[in-house]
């Protein structure tokens, strides 16, 4: 009987907390009016450094450079810095060919001798960057034409220290599409409240002075973009995802599940680290940020376990003939017909697997 009650309690808790957070987030959306979609660039556009880290991106890099080239931002007000860490395919060759064919844009290639990870590469690029605004973008991603302009405009707003993008998925996997729309709403709502708990490598723009204040890009946490945004938020600046900054992520078709697990591992590392700061000097952190991060770290670190443990307990008591657990399992099976429910369950399992894998492989 205890097993049965615990199981039911865990499952109920598991679904209740995120529902409450969702309602809270809807409230934030409603009560914090957006300060207008900012599309007017200031008279004097700031100098921007767009940094693209590459490791074996021959397949993506040309498309990426064309995408950056066609941005609606004065070409003499931004530079592109590509930092490559010993790619073994034709990445660097292709970039040089592209540069020869394109005038009026300042593209610079920095070659690191050995591969020491994306973060190391970004810190190398930072030394060469001249911009007051630093924009990081993964090679396997794309922007809409107004992404850079809108991101920069938001970044020029008082109190904003970092800006990232809304993901528009490009994939056949419907799991991914659903994941984006639900979490996309949370990102925007959190941004209206204070800061988004999560940032995206497709477009992560930072004020350079703040990057310097936090000592460059953090090297010890996997979710570099989210964690950099977190460090900036903890200084009291907002790290936001406004609705008019959009980007496209190309979801890998090969190794999809491992990719999801790695991403989840990185996020878990990010939340664990922020939690640690909140415990040690929480009083100094912005209140709204603390509130967001408490919800989000609970949802990423603890809530998935309630589902998995609850599920096992419910199965055990169902096997002993308990009625409510059997009904619960039947309801669950019916709900699996709904795509969003399937996606949710998948994500919970990925988070649990990721936190276990973090014990021995933090890569």
Please report whether residue 300 would count as binding ligand GDP according to CB under 6 A.
Answer: no
Question: Is residue 142 close enough to count as binding ligand GDP by CB under 6 A?
Answer: no
Which C-beta is closer to ligand GDP: that of 85 or that of 164?
Answer: 85
Q: Are 28 and 193 in contact (CB under 8 A)?
A: yes
| Residue 154 contacts which entry, ligand GDP, Mn ion, none (Cβ below 5-8 A, type-dependent) | none
Closest to ligand GDP by CB, 54 or 297: 54
Contact status: 164 vs ligand GDP (CB under 6 A): no
Residue 91 Cβ vs Mn ion, minimum distance, rounded to whole Å: 14
Token pair 């490009």 is found at 170
Tell me the C-alpha distance between 101 and 255, whole Å: 34
Tokens representing residue 212 in the block? 């310097």
Among 201, 210, 215, residue whose Cα is nearest residue 250: 201
Return the residue nearest Mn ion (CB atom).
140
Which DSSP helix (H) or strand (E) runs through 246?
strand 246-250
CA dihedral over 14, 16, 21, 26, signed as positive or negative: positive
**Residue 92 binds ligand GDP (CB under 6 A):** no
Apex 144 CA angle, 139 and 145, nearest 5: 110
Find the part of the chain contacting ligand GDP (CB under 6 A) among 22-30, 78-86, 185-193, 318-326: 78-86
Considering beta carbons, is residue 3 or 353 the nearer one to ligand GDP?
A: 353
Among 7, 18, 45, 53, binds ligand GDP (CB under 6 A): 53
- Smallest gap, in angstroms, from Cβ of residue 64 to ligand GDP? 8
Tell me how far, at minimum, the Cβ of 91 lies from ligand GDP, in Å. 8
Scan residues 186-205 and list those touching ligand GDP (CB under 6 A). Answer: 201
DSSP assigned state of 116? -
- Residue 118 near ligand GDP by CB under 6 A: yes
Q: How far apart are CA 219 and CA 231, in angstroms?
A: 13
Rounded to the nearest whole angstrom, what is the least distance from the CB of residue 256 to ligand GDP in the complex?
11
Torsion over CA: 57, 109, 266, 23 (sign) = negative
Please spell the DSSP secondary structure of 177-233, one letter per residue: HHHHHHHHHHHHHHHHHS--S---TT-EEEEHHHHHHTTSS-SS-S-HHHHHHHHHH
- In the list 38, 50, 131, 140, the residue contacting ligand GDP (rule: CB under 6 A) is 140
Query: DSSP letter string over 16-69?
Result: HHHHHHHHHHHHHHHHS-------PPPSSPPPEEEEEEESS-TTTHHHHHHHHH
Question: Within positions 214 to 273, which residues make up the interface with ligand GDP, using CB under 6 A?
Answer: 259, 263
Choose the one of ligand GDP, Mn ion, none that binds residue 118, judging by a C-beta under 5 to 8 angstroms depending on kind.
ligand GDP
The residue from 11, 14, 49, 54 that contacts ligand GDP (CB under 6 A) is 54
Binding-site ranges for Mn ion (CB under 5 A): 140
Task: Please give the residue ranges that form the binding site for ligand GDP (CB under 6 A).
Answer: 53-55, 57, 83-85, 115, 117-118, 121, 138-140, 201, 259, 263
């Amino acid at each position: 009987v205890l097993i049965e009650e615990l199981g039911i309690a865990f499952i109920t808790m598991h679904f209740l907390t995120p529902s409450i957070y969702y309602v809270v987030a809807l409230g934030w959306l409603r009560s914090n009016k957006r300060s207008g979609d900012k599309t007017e660039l200031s008279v004097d556009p700031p100098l921007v450094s767009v940094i693209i880290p590459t490791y074996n991106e021959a397949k993506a890099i040309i498309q990426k450079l064309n995408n950056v080239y066609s941005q609606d931002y004065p070409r003499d007000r931004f530079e592109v810095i590509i930092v490559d860490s010993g790619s073994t395919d034709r990445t660097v060759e292709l970039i040089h060919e592209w540069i020869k064919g394109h005038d009026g844009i300042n593209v610079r290639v920095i070659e690191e001798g050995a591969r020491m990870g994306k973060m190391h590469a970004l810190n190398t690029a930072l030394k060469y960057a001249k911009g007051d605004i630093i924009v990081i973008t993964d090679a396997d991603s794309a922007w809409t034409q107004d992404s850079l302009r809108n991101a920069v405009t938001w970044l020029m707003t008082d109190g904003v220290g970092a800006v990232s993008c809304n993901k528009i998925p490009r994939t056949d996997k419907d799991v991914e599409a659903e994941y984006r729309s639900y979490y996309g709403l949370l990102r925007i709502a959190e941004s209206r409240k204070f800061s988004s708990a999560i940032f995206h490598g497709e477009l992560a723009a930072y004020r350079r002075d703040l990057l310097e204040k936090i000592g460059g890009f953090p090297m010890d946490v996997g979710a570099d973009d989210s964690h950099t945004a977190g460090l900036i938020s903890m200084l009291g600046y907002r790290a936001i995802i406004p609705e008019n900054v959009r980007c496209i992520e190309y979801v890998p078709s090969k190794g999809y599940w491992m990719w999801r697990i790695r991403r989840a591992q990185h996020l878990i590392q990010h939340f664990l680290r922020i939690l640690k700061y909140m415990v040690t000097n929480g009083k100094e952190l912005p209140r709204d940020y603390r509130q967001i991060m408490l919800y989000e770290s609970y949802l990423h670190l603890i809530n998935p376990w309630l589902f998995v443990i609850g599920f096992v307990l419910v199965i055990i008591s169902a096997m002993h003939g308990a009625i409510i657990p059997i009904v619960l399992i039947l309801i669950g099976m019916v709900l699996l017909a709904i795509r969003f429910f399937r996606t949710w369950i998948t994500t919970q399992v990925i988070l649990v697997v990721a936190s276990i894998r973090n014990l021995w492989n933090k890569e």
